[in-house]
Amino acid sequence: MRLDKNENPFDPPPGLIEELRLSLSSLELNRYPDQEAGTLRSAIAMHCGFPAEWISVGNGGDELLLYLVMAFVPYSGCLMTLSPSFSGYDHISRALGVRTRSVSLGFDGSRVFLDEEKFADAISAASPDLILIDRPNNPTGLTISVDLLSRVAGLTKGILAVDEAYVEFGGGSFLSEPEKLPPKVFVLRTFSKAWGLAGLRVGWGVSKPDLRNRIEKIRPPFNVSVFSQEAARVALGYSEWMRARAKRIAFTRDRFIEEANRIPGWRALSGSGNFVTLYSRGPVEPVRTAFDKKGIRVRFPEMGSLSEYPGTWVRIAVGLEEEMNAVLDTIKDLSGRL
C-alpha cells in the first residue's frame, strides 16, 4: 500500500484516458510545446475565474516554487516559512543558498496551532522578501485562515506565496473572491493531488500581471511538455468527477481521524488535506517495523520545531477505505505495546 506520497488513490476517469489516447495521434511530438502554454492557461482561466494573463504554469508546483524564490529573494535576502512545512521549501532554499527564517508551530498534545502575534512579530523583525505558507500545512494539516493571510499580506513588504496544493479537499481558498486578491500574493495550485495526475507534473498559479511577469523572466521556454499541457487541459473538463472524488477522500479522511482518535496512545491531527498525521508518545522503531511488516508505506516526516516533543509522528496519505482500515488495524495492534 502506497500511503507515503499524498497521492490520489483513484485512477483518472475512463473518459479522460480515452480522450488522451485519441489526442496522441494529433499531437506534434516532433515540435516543441507552446512556450506560453496559451491554450492551457485559457482553460485554467475559465476554470478558476481569473484572467489568463494572471496564470503561471510550471512543470509541477515545485518548479513554480523554485521560480518564486529565484524571482523574489535576492542575494542576502530572506525567505520565511513555518516550521514544520513542506520539505520541498527547505530543499529549494538549500539548493539556492537562501537565508531562511522559520516561525515555529505549537503543539498542546492534541492539536497544532500558530501563535498569530508571534507570527506578526517575526515578520516585523525579519522583514522577509518572500513568505511561503502551505495551506494546509504539510505535514501537520493545520489550515491558516484566509483572514490571517490577508493580514500577513498587508504586514509584509515582500511577496506572500500561498501553496494551496490540497485546497480541493476542504478549508476554503484564497482565490474565492477574485476581486480581493492582493497585488503581492501568489497562489499555487496543482493537478497532482485532487486531479490525480501527479505523473504529469503540472502546476499552476495565480497572481496579478506585475508579479507574474517577474516569474516569466526566469521561467525557461518549453517548461511544460506537449502531452502534459494537453492532458491538463482535457482534465479540466472532468471537474465534477474531481470534486466527487475529493469529497469522497475528505469523507474517508474524517472517518479515519475519528476512528484513530478512539485508539489509546494515538492522536490523529485534524486537517483539510488528503493526508493525516498521527502522533504517539511511543518510540518510532516499533511503529516503523509494524508498518513494514504489513507492507504499508507511510512517511515519518521531519517535524521541525515539533521534533522537541518526544514520540513518533507518522503521516498517512488518505487511500481507499480498505487501506485506511489496514492502517487502523496496525495502530490498534501497536496500542498496547507503545
Domains of the chain by residue range: 14-238, 240-335
The Cα–Cα gap between 128 and 120 comes to: 12
Backbone torsions φ then ψ of 20, nearest 5 degrees: -70, -40
Find out whether 6 and 317 touch, Cβ atoms under 8 Å: yes
Q: Burial letters for 226-259: b for 16+ Cβ neighbours within 10 Å, e otherwise? A: bebbbbbbbbbebeebbeebbeebbebbbebbeb
Of 67, 200, 41, which Cα lies nearest the Cα of 132?
67
Topology given in CATH for the domain delimited by 240-335: Aspartate Aminotransferase, domain 1 (3.90.1150)
Work out the angle between the directed axes of helices 116-126 and 146-155 (0-180°, nearest 10): 20
What average pLDDT does the structure give for the chain? 94
14-238 classified as CATH 3.40.640.10: yes
Q: How confident is the model at residue 23 (pLDDT cuts 50, 70, 90)?
A: confident
Q: Kindly tell me if the per-residue pLDDT of 26 is higher than 90.
A: no
285: cell is: 522503531
Tell me if the pTM is above 0.75. Answer: yes
Amino acid 315: pLDDT: 98
